Amino acid sequence: MTAKLIKGTDIREEILDEITKEVAEIKEKYNQVPGLVTILVGENPASVSYVTLKVKTAERVGFKEIQDNQPEDISEADLLALIDKYNKDDSIHGILVQLPLPKHVDEKKVLNAIDPDKDVDGFHPVNVGRLMIGGDEVKFPPCTPAGIQEMIVRAGVETSGAEVVVVGRSNIVGKPIANMMVQKGPGANSTVTIVHTRTKDLEGHCKRADILIVAAGVPGLVKPEWIKPGACVIDVGVNRVGEKISEKTGRKVAILRGDVDFDAAKEIAGAITPVPGGVGPMTITMLLFNTLESARRHLSAGV
Ligand code: GUN
């Protein structure tokens, strides 16, 4: 059997088209467009390339986008003052501070300074709490887990009553996606197990999964014999395992490998995400979706 490929690159295009239409409707109704500010401190090359892509994609869907670059040696007080400025700016509905931050800045303090109603990353403790409560309380589901859930739903995979096994317990992926899949509601209602480095029988748990979500950061961790035939496999791993020369650009690019042995797994799974081109493209897409929703709430004064 060859699994159905769940392509993030295709789903991204669908969602970005939907967002573009909704931006036009918001503009028509309120004479304003969603506003996103991306604050980048320093020049970490990975961060620069993430932020560049975020800005480009935000502009493509018609957002007001501010790329606010700050020097590496900005003081914590100045960064907090900058966040406060955007918290008070009515044309801005989403504030993103690109991580990691330089060592002299307290990351927790900075993230906690963002107005929870503009925290489109969903990293503020208030939003983590809202996610835990579920239902109408949720304002900003964190972007990668939101992308995973959207992919599962759009691939037509049944989640209600499904055994979901999440490999990895990070605050950014493992814990929130487990929490989202266990909630009442569409795209959820699952029975969820989180497994991690101290789990005794990793293979045994994975074998039970109707939906296997792997966010361990270990290339090729999940072997094909760990996969239940017909299961849906979501591979969140983006591991750099080497470099190659791109045929397109002639430049050096990273060779990426997921946490799942893809070539063998696709012969057993019912549906599977590739790496690259799977979960990766969904993160920025859901960031823009969160910003759109925030704009809608602020402009209708519901916040
Ligand atoms: N750095 C790498 N990924 C992310 C992300 O999703 N959000 C923020 N704020 N920083 C990041």
Residue identifier of the C-alpha nearest atom 1 of ligand 1? 99
Q: Are 26 and 296 in contact (CB under 8 A)?
A: yes
Residues in the chain: 303
pLDDT score for 186 = 96
Of 148, 143, 205, 226, give the one whose Cα is nearest residue 181: 148
Q: How far apart are the first and last CA of the chain?
A: 48
pLDDT score for 301 = 82
Assess whether the C-beta atom of 121 lies below 6 angstroms from ligand 1: yes
Distance 98 CA to ligand 1 centre (A): 5
Of 49, 47, 48, 51, give the one whose Cα is nearest residue 38: 51
For tokens 């949720």, the residue is: 138
The set of residues, in sequence order, having a beta carbon less than 8 Å from that of 287 and lying 6+ positions away, is 36, 54, 94, 96, 120, 121, 143
Q: Are 303 and 293 in contact (CB under 8 A)?
A: no
d(C-alpha 239, C-alpha 251), whole Å: 19
pLDDT score for 167 = 98
**The pTM is what?**
0.96
d(C-alpha 55, C-alpha 167), whole Å: 31
Q: How many CB atoms lie within 10 A of CB 248?
A: 7
Distance 264 CA to ligand 1 centre (A): 31
Residue 60: beta bridge partners?
Answer: none
Each of the 303 residues of the chain gets a pLDDT tens digit; together they read: 699 999 999 999 999 999 999 999 999 999 999 999 999 999 999 999 999 999 999 999 999 999 999 999 999 999 999 999 999 999 999 999 999 999 999 999 999 999 999 999 999 999 999 999 999 999 999 999 999 999 999 999 999 999 999 999 999 999 999 999 999 999 999 999 999 999 999 999 999 999 999 999 999 999 999 999 999 999 999 999 999 999 989 999 999 999 999 999 999 999 999 999 999 999 999 999 999 999 999 999 866
Distance 128 CA to ligand 1 centre (A): 16
Q: Are 290 and 20 in contact (CB under 8 A)?
A: no
Residue identifier of the C-alpha nearest atom 8 of ligand 1? 98
